[in-house]
Structure formats: structure tokens, C-alpha cells
Amino acid sequence: MASTPSAPLATPELSALTNLISTSASSDPLSASTIQILHNLQHQHLWTSLQVHNLKDPYLRASSLGEGLATMPSEDQTVPQYLISGIPPHRVYTHPDEQLYLLERGLREEDLELERMFILPTVKNQPWSLRKMASVFDSLPDEADIQAEEASMNDGEETSDGLGGEKAVKLVEYYEYRKKARLTKEWGGKRLLLAMVDRGMGGDGTVVYYVVQEGAVKPRQN
């Protein structure tokens, strides 16, 4: 009895992420990782207002996704080249002293406005040093520059839409105190999220996020 020839296997379609990387990024693996992490933040973790910044730009100006990554080849593929910034759907980290301040005044994190946060794209087993990490933190805007930009956008007034009475007053006091606490680093210095992609041999592309801070946070006793 003659055997029936098997039908040829159809080639699977490329995923949306693979298509995005192939059309938006260069062959530089750090560029591809930046695209992957940005895609993960947007579609899995629901971040908004995402932007890509070139670390070689002293002003960290945002660039368009395809143009910014495809035209800047890396001389050293172990050196961080890009930062991502965006607004998370909820607060990622609160300093212990800031938590205490909020508790004492009956405020919750849900009462506060969400802030833009920086993310450093990295790859698992990417070589690092204190010098490289320090250079990344040096590139982040200083608190004085952030406050000056915020003041130019909203005339120095923090909004408390939908809140009235005593809570609105407490929020105004909180925002004023936060400006001073951040300038003096009472509530910690600069911080960012380090995003690490597992793309090595056998890696499944999982993205893990770590909070990295400038300096050290003293442990608190319960």
C-alpha cells in the first residue's frame, strides 16, 4: 500500500516582538535588548509615556524608537548606551523615611502623583563595574534640574485634583517637604530600575527588574 505524502510544515509567523526588533533596532544586541525591555514595560507591566534616551547625550533627550537605536552603533557592546524612562502604573519604591512621613499624616501612596522613572536595559552576564554604574547615575538629572523643569510646567504647584479639605492641605505640605528632602537626600539619592534580560544559551528572554540606588539605605529596625 502506497504511503500518503505528508504535507509540508508551515513556517511559523514571527512574533510581534521579533518583528519590532528586526525593524526598529540595529544588529547591536544592547539595542535589541532595549527594544525588548521597552516592549515588556508597555505590554506586560502597563507603563506609559515611554521614551528612549541616549546616554551619550548630556541632556538625555528622548529619541524616536527606530531612529534613535538604529543609527548609533556601539564601539563597546559591554558599555551601557541607552536609558528608558516612563511612568509606572503604581509606585515602584518608597524610601522608609518617606513611608513614615506618609503614615504619620494619614496619606497613602495612591494619593500621590505618579513620577517618571528611569530604567537601565542590561543583558544577563553583561560585564559591569562600579565605574560603569557610577557613570550611569552621573548621567541622570539632578533633583534641582527636575524641580526646575516641574516648576516651569505647572508654575510650581502640585495638583490634588479630586481631593479637598484636610487631605489636600496635607498633600501640599508633603510635596513641599519632598522637594527639600530630595535636595538634601534625606529620602535617598538617585535611583533607577535595572532591567536584565536572560538571552544567553538556553535563556527564555525573561526580564527581571531590580531597584538600584545611589549610596546606601540604612536598615530600619521594626
Residues 27-73: pLDDT tens digits? 566 678 888 999 999 999 999 999 999 887 766 666 655 444 544 44
In a domain, 64, yes or no: no
In a domain, 67, yes or no: no
In a domain, 71, yes or no: no
Domain count, the chain: 1
**Predicted confidence (pLDDT) per residue in 96-151, tens digit:** 899 999 999 999 999 999 999 999 999 888 888 888 888 999 999 888 777 776 66
In a domain, 178, yes or no: yes
pLDDT of residue 74: 47
DSSP 205: -
In a domain, 16, yes or no: no
| Domain enclosing residue 35, as ranges | 23-57+79-142+167-214
In a domain, 147, yes or no: no
Q: Looking at residue 41, which CATH number applies to its domain?
A: 3.40.1350.10
Which residues have C-beta within 8 Å of that of residue 150, sequence separation ≥ 6? 156
| Sheet containing strand 207-213, strands side by side | 62-63, 48-54, 82-87, 117-123, 191-197, 207-213
Q: How far is residue 39's CA from residue 50's CA, in Å, rounded to a whole number?
A: 10
In a domain, 182, yes or no: yes
In a domain, 157, yes or no: no
